[in-house]
Structure 1
Amino acid sequence: MAKIVGLPVDKLLKQLADAGMEFSGPDQVVSSTEKIKLLGFLRRAHGKAEAPAEAAGAPKKITIARRKTEELTVAGSGKAKTTVAVEVRQKRTYVKRDDVEAPVSSEREEVLRKLEESKSRNAEEQARLSELDRARREQIEAEKAEKERLAREAEEKARTAVEVAGKTAADAGHESRRERDEKHGHKPHKTEAIRHEPAKAVKDKAPVRAPAAKHKVRGSHAMVDNDIDDESGLQNISGQLHLTAAERERRAGAKKKPRAKPMEASRTASGQHGFSRPTAPITREVALGDSIVVSELANKLAMKGSDVVRALFKMGMMVTINQVIDHDTAVLVVEELGHKAVRANDNDAELALVAHLDEVRGDKTVRPPVVTIMGHVDHGKTSLLDYIRRTKVATGEAGGITQHIGAYHVETPRGVISFLDTPGHAAFTSMRARGAKLTDIVVLVVAADDGVMPQTVEAVNHARAAKVPLIVAINKMDKSEANPDNVKQGLVALEVVPEEWGGDVQFVPVSAKTGDGVDNLLESILVQAELMELKATVDARATGVVIESALDKGRGPVATVLVQEGTLKKGDYLVSGLQYGRVRALFDENGKQTDSAGPSIPVQVLGLSGVPDAGDDFVVVADERLAREVAQQRETKYRESRLVKQPGSRMEDVIAQMGAGQGQQVLNLVVKADVQGSVQALRESLTGLSNEMIRINVVASGVGGITESDATLAAASKAVVIGFNVRADASARKIIESNGVDLRYFSIIYDVIDQVKQVASGLLGVEIREEIIGIAEVRDVFRSSKFGAVAGSLVVEGTVKRNKPIRVLRNNTVVFEGELESLRRFKDNVDEVRSGTECGIAVKAYNDVKPGDQIECFERIEVARSL
């Protein structure tokens, strides 16, 4: 025991002695009672209440393990027998009932309450039955007493007659024995009296046996035999004292009635109706959403799935039970089958989102205008915006052409203006349309030496469709061949009339190169904004639109958003399209972190669950739960709508595909780009090239570098992989090389469209391909007073040549395209550096090279294409 409790033996003996138990040595045995006594003494010594001995010593749980071994003899191959040992193990655990706490719930409380009520009713019924039993026993005892009294009287009369006869016949001097007994107070024995009685008297005296009730006592219930039959209703109640009289009568009547036939109306003893066969068809109201699965529709109609499929087949729809049909088709099927269709309100999360936004509306204040720069390609839109922002953006674009939507805000002496720079090429029609929807004022840039061009007409149409005011900036006025009147005449043909000609459109001559007229343009924009009285709520949850989105390898999904209402803050929960998340960081257009962004301010947002589509609205909500529910509901609807839109669900579509499949060819493409806007523009432009001879099918598209899954998909679907400003990683290149997948890199969008258009239209021509001839990896960056940043690099593939164009890659994404300014080996200028050799590279007009970047050297070659 000293070892168990961790005490010296002497100290334990002293504690036992203090507790009143004398032990002479360490070898003596301490019983359980003495242990409990010592425990109580120690608890009292430390000021604690002494635990009950039985509670302290009683075990809380007992586990019994049993093992039983038997031998079985089984027949083997031939006549041989095999003995197998079988061991059966059992383990049972018994827990003390007091230690098991039954969970208390509302259902348990209700059951306990009903049990108490049932017990009280049973007690009352037992008391009533006991009272009836007592009354019955008293009645039986009274009848028995009355009969015994009558028997005694008859016996007394007979004895009197015998005494008279004996007195007359006996000797006068002799006293009979009866007389002596009577004299001494003794009653004659019953058999003796009967022996001396006459036959008639004995017959008259025969007692009548009363029906006696036989009682059986079991516990506290008085069990009465079934032989009792009286008006008190005590018959046939053995073992059913907990039932009321009405319930016993109902059960007794139910036993005598025959069982009712199925599917027919029946009435039970308690007056309740059973199942009855319907006499008319049942018309159901079926709630239908935007789409529904055929099997789910069959469940709502309480019909077999094959019947619904048959009805759809009669309507010309070839579907299976697991396919999705749209709302209109489902309504037609429901009405065809004789039921009523109602609109289901399955936008619970969307309604909660709308109500959530209505709660936080506040006072409106003046906000900055959002201005969109539009115009034809190479008319100077980005150069004009560069002069305003005092930066150069066009130098970072491929070929000096803007490929993305840029969002910036500038501060002027009269106020803040937010600018959206949209691309001017025809492929970016959808991107320009998004820019027009976001904007308050459109600045149409037209070159004075070029005049009105096709994209200029598109810009005017977009602005007119968006119903926003238009300001025309006549650019390149510094050129000698500038002709602003030609521009005005061309725009008047489009119903864009200058103010000096009696119209309502401001025409401002500017020069993006010299800066002439730029201040007048900003003044015109602010005057137009004052006339429009642009206002927005500042102290509210932010709402706005996604301008552009991309997938950054280091930062994850990045979305450029424009706040339209409220203030977007760091830490807010927002939902945008199918994506949601918490704002982890906000960056302005210069890459600096900011804590908040008010109305009309564009910022970059980090923290979304995925890359949202450009043009999606975003809304800030109070918690993550609502954002997740809205995003999940939108994703479900999007998936169902895609299933509904799948071709070939109608007979006409199937027959048309069968007819067209004989001569039509399919060109599968996998498109990957650096931003979401380029993905959308490429997908729409490429699929629009399809004709009756060839169909362009974009099997997959996305944002980011070309991954292993993209290469596997392209190999399986025999697709051409198009990388727009992105590159394939090492694992993807292995799959592409091993499967012979056609991989093409592009940086200018109309090169993609032109090549695919030539193939799709069946025209022979010269194909311009970009061939990578060398890749150098930047190991370190040195600063030079003559060349700026010099990248100490190692050529890892091919050969780097000084007279070839290069690109700077960061995380497999193009960040700059240009040419080399210097290529050196040690101190010598060289024309080329081969693989495995170190060199120093200075990139012309780019000083932001970082260690880990890749410098890609390429050349454009012309290849004769043959079909």
Structure 2
Amino acid sequence: MIRSLSSVHIACCRLEPCVSRPPFLSRILGSTRNYAKRAISRTNELKPVTFEIPSYTSVSDLSNMTSIKIEKLIRDLTKMGFTNVTHNYILSREYVELVLSSYNYKVEDQTSSLTPETVYEELRSSVNPKNLKKRPPIVTIMGHVDHGKTTILDYLRNSTIVSNEHGGITQHIGAFQVKTPISKRTITFLDTPGHAAFLKMRERGATITDIVILVISAEDSLMPQTLEALKHARNSGNQMVVAITKIDRFSNPKQREAAIEKVNLDMMNHEIPIERIGGDVQVVPISARTGENMELLEESIVLLSDVMDLKAESGPQTTLEGYILESEMKKTTGNVSTILVTKGELRKGKVLICGNTYCKVRSIKNENGQDVSKATPAQAVEITGWKDLPGAGDEVIEAKNEATAKKYVAKRLAVIQTARESENVDRLNEQRATKALSKLKKVSESGEGLQNSENDPGVEENGPKKVNFIVKGDVSGSVEAIVESIASLGNEEVKCNIVTASVGVPNENDMKMARITGSKLLCFNLGPLPHEIVNNKDEIEVAQFNVIYKLIEDVTETLTDNLKPIYETKQVASAEIRDIFNFSVRKKTIKIAGCKVLSGQVSRNATVKIIRGADEKVVYDGTILSLKQGKEDASLVKKNNECGITFGDDFESYEPGDKIVVYEKVKVPRYL
């Protein structure tokens, strides 16, 4: 509704100048600048700004500061392109500067060009060709679930990852540096999970790698996640090698050739430029279980990396850069993260910045848990010393010392806070405009506006019911993937609302938050939980999972249980009122309907309707109060038997010939 000060506008024009502005914002800014130029052209004399321009100010305050009548100011702002301007409409600093320019004030441009992503750019060092050294290739293995990605790594480094994984699927990014058995060359492998829930982790793997090995099963050919991995590989601009796996499943050579041929044809249909049609993508049929053609795959990677001539700046004098692959809280060592070094040399004592936290490196361990003295480009190591957990996928950069790190982290937090303030200003303007428009509707339409308010996008609605969850995972990558998977679950009635998501075993704050918000705790890969968490006195529901799709199924089931129940009416019996009898009990006369059961069984306390006439008018909808056969109370009367019935709510307005329909409400199963 109010488009001139949305968070997108402010981010584009004030906090994130590198992002292209939307057309409607360009029109506002363009019309404002044109208006300012016309005003300035009327006189060459510029007035000095004698007051401090705040980050945000209302129209009425700006009127007081400039001594411009508020009516004129509102009128001029409307001409500039602002909509729904009132006296309490809030303007950002950039808009205030443009408005002042239109009134012939001399304004110095103090707009900040910093964004959360560019705060640390000053710390980067320029490339020194003398420090460039050859580095190992970083290879990502991508593909569909259960197509044999991890089995390839098992063969290369003689490990048994598969047997240690829950559900037989890889659920963390694994980074391993191996020395290949044939060429004795070092290669860094990133094993990205193939499950659909780990989309962001696969995206991250494709953007920090040099070569992508696209794994395609000879049995299944191209599957949905295979095509998704192919898309990420293309978008990242990485070189690619295709490995056709599981060829050992075909004992008949002709069947094997036919399966490989089908994969080749499918790849050509999806425009993968394989060597067979003159492209540069190598295709290697392999079996990681038997080792068939594995040396050929290794040679293909080494050959491709030699052609790419991969180099990086190394040495202690080069500013270190890298990426966080995983981060987690360990009981014995505190905050730890797996970092992939892309530039410089990582040593103990170095100060690193990542996101909103920093680290003075206390220890460095390789993939085997052994302490190492340093890490060079293309090497993945685990480090400790973080003040807070960094985010998986965030970039790491070196700072000179802790004082510098604190300074830049504070600067980044200030930029983020400014962005949040912008969003708050946007919401405040929208709320005020909505209230004003709502009042106008009520006055002009004499109450009809209330009926139409649900069509107004600015009016608050109850919306779907929020079902709250708190996510706790073993590592940040898992937490991120879970949030990405369940955040969008729901429909117009119920919605998944993630209250908090963090790494580690649930603590007192998590339990307190769950109690206050009525949340369900979702714990992923945390092992046995403390007794006081599982059997907590507040009866907070705690669910534990080792496989992510089981967690997604549980959340879906919980949301389904919170859907508004729908019942359908099912007739179970019928009876007819044949006569009416009067009985005196304690000086009170009561009426009893003498009935005959026509179908089914009539039971005491059953729900009934009394229907009268050809038009089947319902004269009573309630319950049976008492049921008698002769003088005895009965709990059940079967078909073709006679009985006496009284009804609840003291209803006695029935007549002979009325039909009694006994029914029950059956809950209809509902699904998201």
Could you tell me the TM-score, scaled by structure 1's length? 0.50
Q: Is the 8 A contact 2:119 2:411 kept in 1?
A: no
Say whether 1:454 aligns with 2:224. yes
Inter-partner Cα distance in structure 1 for 2:338 and 2:461: 43
1:217 maps to which residue? Answer: none
Counterpart selection for 1:428 from 181, 185, 198: 198
- Written as runs of structure 1 = structure 2, the 5 A alignment for 1:236-385 is 282-283=48-49, 292-294=55-57, 302=65, 315-316=83-84, 340=107, 342-345=109-112, 347=114, 354=122, 357-358=125-126, 362-385=130-153
**Shift in alpha-carbon separation, 1:356–1:746, aligned structure 2, 3 A:** closer
Counterpart selection for 1:403 from 171, 187, 193: 171
Say whether 1:393 aligns with 2:192. no
Counterpart residue identity of residue 748, structure 1: V
1:682 maps to which residue? Answer: 482
Inter-partner Cα distance in structure 1 for 2:408 and 2:225: 38
Say whether 1:745 aligns with 2:521. no
2:307 maps to which residue? Answer: 531
**Shift in alpha-carbon separation, 1:654–1:417, aligned structure 2, 3 A:** farther
Inter-partner Cα distance in structure 1 for 2:60 and 2:49: 15
% identity of equivalent residues: 33
Q: Is the 8 A contact 2:123 2:397 kept in 1?
A: no
Say whether 1:623 aligns with 2:405. no
Q: Deviations over 1:502-532 (max 9, x none)?
A: 2221001111111111111111001101111
Tell me, what secondary structure is at the counterpart of 2:243? strand
Counterpart residue identity of residue 541, structure 1: T
Q: Deviations over 1:714-755 (max 9, x none)?
A: 111222211111269659628x73333222111111222233
Distance apart, 1:280 and its partner CA: 8.8
Counterpart residue identity of residue 455, structure 1: Q
Larger relative contact order (C-alpha < 8 A, sep ≥ 6)?
2
Counterpart residue identity of residue 424, structure 1: G
Counterpart residue identity of residue 682, structure 1: I
Inter-partner Cα distance in structure 1 for 2:364 and 2:60: 46
Distance apart, 1:663 and its partner CA: 4.5
Inter-partner Cα distance in structure 1 for 2:103 and 2:392: 43
Distance apart, 1:297 and its partner CA: 13
Distance apart, 1:455 and its partner CA: 0.1
Distance apart, 1:407 and its partner CA: 0.2
Inter-partner Cα distance in structure 2 for 1:330 and 1:564: 43
Q: Is the 8 A contact 1:573 1:623 kept in 2?
A: yes
**Shift in alpha-carbon separation, 1:295–1:660, aligned structure 2, 3 A:** closer
Tell me, what secondary structure is at the counterpart of 2:287? coil
1:437 maps to which residue? Answer: 207
1:469 maps to which residue? Answer: 239
Inter-partner Cα distance in structure 2 for 1:519 and 1:441: 17
- Written as runs of structure 1 = structure 2, the 5 A alignment for 1:123-162 is none
Tell me, what secondary structure is at the counterpart of 2:410? helix
**Shift in alpha-carbon separation, 1:351–1:615, aligned structure 2, 3 A:** closer
Counterpart residue identity of residue 462, structure 1: H
Distance apart, 1:342 and its partner CA: 2.3
1:611 maps to which residue? Answer: 389
**Shift in alpha-carbon separation, 1:581–1:333, aligned structure 2, 3 A:** farther
Q: Is the 8 A contact 1:334 1:341 kept in 2?
A: no
Counterpart residue identity of residue 401, structure 2: D
Inter-partner Cα distance in structure 2 for 1:498 and 1:488: 8
Inter-partner Cα distance in structure 1 for 2:235 and 2:52: 40
1:484 maps to which residue? Answer: 260
Counterpart residue identity of residue 397, structure 1: E
Tell me, what secondary structure is at the counterpart of 1:371? strand
Distance apart, 1:585 and its partner CA: 0.4
**Unaligned residue ranges in structure 2 (runs of 5+):** 1-44, 436-455, 564-667
Inter-partner Cα distance in structure 2 for 1:331 and 1:726: 53
Distance apart, 1:548 and its partner CA: 1.2
Counterpart residue identity of residue 589, structure 1: E
Tell me, what secondary structure is at the counterpart of 1:515? coil
**Unaligned residue ranges in structure 1 (runs of 5+):** 1-278, 765-863
Could you tell me the TM-score, scaled by structure 2's length? 0.64
- Written as runs of structure 1 = structure 2, the 5 A alignment for 1:635-714 is 635-645=413-423, 648-651=427-430, 661-714=461-514
Q: Deviations over 1:79-100 (max 9, x none)?
A: xxxxxxxxxxxxxxxxxxxxxx
Inter-partner Cα distance in structure 1 for 2:88 and 2:499: 24
Q: Deviations over 1:59-78 (max 9, x none)?
A: xxxxxxxxxxxxxxxxxxxx
Inter-partner Cα distance in structure 2 for 1:302 and 1:727: 62
Inter-partner Cα distance in structure 2 for 1:696 and 1:333: 43
Distance apart, 1:285 and its partner CA: 9.9
Higher gyration radius (CA): 1
**Shift in alpha-carbon separation, 1:553–1:636, aligned structure 2, 3 A:** farther
Tell me, what secondary structure is at the counterpart of 2:249? coil
**Shift in alpha-carbon separation, 1:590–1:355, aligned structure 2, 3 A:** closer
Inter-partner Cα distance in structure 2 for 1:307 and 1:744: 58
Q: Is the 8 A contact 2:560 2:670 kept in 1?
A: no
**Shift in alpha-carbon separation, 1:316–1:382, aligned structure 2, 3 A:** farther
Inter-partner Cα distance in structure 2 for 1:449 and 1:675: 33
Q: Is the 8 A contact 1:287 1:344 kept in 2?
A: no
Q: Deviations over 1:74-133 (max 9, x none)?
A: xxxxxxxxxxxxxxxxxxxxxxxxxxxxxxxxxxxxxxxxxxxxxxxxxxxxxxxxxxxx
RMSD: 3.9
Counterpart residue identity of residue 461, structure 2: G
